[in-house]
Amino acid sequence: MKKRELKSAAGLLFSLCAFVCLFFAGCKTLSLQNKQIDLFTLFDDGADVYLHIPVNEANKSFVRNLVNSWTDDVNESDLNNMLNRTEEIAAAFFIEWGANLKSTVKFQLASRGKYPSLLINAGLTKKNGWTDVSEKAADMILNRKRHSNNIELASPDNNHIFISNKDVLSMQKKYFLSLISPVSVLDWPSLPGENTALPVRTLMDDAELVSVYMPTAGSLLPKMVGSPIELGIKYAAGTLKSYKEDHAIVTLKLQMSDERSLKIAEKLFRFAVLGTNIIVKQDRGTVLILDNFVVWPAALTGLLQKKR
């Protein structure tokens, strides 16, 4: 695949965040009570990949290299400013596949941090490709910015940024609704554990590691590596751990649909990783683990592994 076609979810995520933070250091404050909300409840239904990135010191060097691998438009000072202001980022990616396995990616992103309202109006200007968009919902006027490349951004308070090339307005509506009443949540599955099941949602709250959940892994993972086949995978969930500055070690758990699918997938993956340090092993139940493979920023989507 071409490099542009291999844009990773994480790479795209941080590139867009950094792009936005070039222009502003904060967002408008609304006179609403600040409330810790579940960022994943803001996204539309039907995403193919969910990603959570805790922006901590252990992840920052990897994040910097991740951004730099996808764009040359972010200087170190701007990027460090963004990272220092942001505590966590959640994202949902909606992937449409066309001829020859070429993909179109729509995304919704929500970040949480500390963003003082200083430069948003000065930075997100018409000169820089941004226009103001307003829409009335119930008794509120929801304001957002729209860029000429079809990206929209909203900043509902001093603690959140929403950005999307799919639908920001729906995120705004869900956010304000969540301040006054419970909102629906994703139907998160659970992986078999030693004593009890491990909810994938708990995994996605990891305070140290980048975490990923793929509800359509059976078709998504093969397509990521250029194969049209579909495997009997119900879903996949895993973590990325920083390794040697600009790389990450990935551990991925695949919940297979049945014992037969487990055995087939195990054989296929064992053959595919011959000559590498990648570990393929069965876990409890019908879970297959892919462990100890190293990815670098420009190859995350293709799940290409780098030999040590």
Supply the DSSP string of 89-113, one letter for each residue.
EEEEEEEEE-GGG-EEEEEEEEEEE
What does pLDDT average to over the chain?
A: 78
What distance in Å separates the CA atoms of residue 156 and residue 145, rounded to the nearest whole number? 12
Helical (H) or strand (E) element with 299 = none
Domain enclosing residue 77, as ranges: 4-178
Of 178, 205, 236, the residue at which a domain comes to its end is 178
What distance in Å separates the CA atoms of residue 288 and residue 180, rounded to the nearest whole number? 41
Q: How confident is the model at residue 274, as a pLDDT? A: 79
Q: How confident is the model at residue 76, as a pLDDT? A: 78
Residue 114 sits in the same domain as residue 20: yes
Judged by DSSP in three states, 162 sits in strand
Is residue 237, in this structure, part of any structural domain at all? yes
Residue 148 sits in the same domain as residue 218: no
Residue 22 sits in the same domain as residue 120: yes
What distance in Å separates the CA atoms of residue 89 and residue 133, rounded to the nearest whole number? 24
Is residue 184, in this structure, part of any structural domain at all? no
Residue 132 sits in the same domain as residue 208: no
Residue 163 sits in the same domain as residue 250: no
Residue 111: is its pLDDT beyond 80?
yes
Helical (H) or strand (E) element with 261 = helix 259-272
Structural domains counted in the chain: 2
Residue 23 sits in the same domain as residue 67: yes
Residue 109 sits in the same domain as residue 29: yes
Is residue 183, in this structure, part of any structural domain at all? no
Question: Residue 155's pLDDT band (boundaries 50, 70, 90)?
Answer: confident
Residue 163 sits in the same domain as residue 202: no
Is residue 308, in this structure, part of any structural domain at all? no
Q: How confident is the model at residue 304, as a pLDDT? A: 35
> Residues 177-201: pLDDT tens digits?
888 888 888 889 998 876 778 899 9
- Residues in the chain, how many? 308
Residue 277 sits in the same domain as residue 136: no
Contact 124, 23 (CB under 8 A): yes
Residue 169 sits in the same domain as residue 241: no
More confident residue, 27 or 209: 209
Q: Average of pLDDT values for 121-148?
A: 82
Q: How confident is the model at residue 122, as a pLDDT? A: 62
Q: How confident is the model at residue 288, as a pLDDT? A: 94
Say if pTM beats, i.e. exceeds, 0.75. Answer: yes
Is residue 185, in this structure, part of any structural domain at all? no
Residue 124 sits in the same domain as residue 103: yes
Burial grade of 8 (CB within 10 A; 0-12, 13-18, 19 or more): buried
Report the relative pairing of strands 140-147 and 130-137 from DSSP bridges: antiparallel
Total Cβ atoms within 10 A of residue 173: 17
| Rounded percentage of the chain residues whose pLDDT exceeds 70 | 77
Residue 125 sits in the same domain as residue 202: no
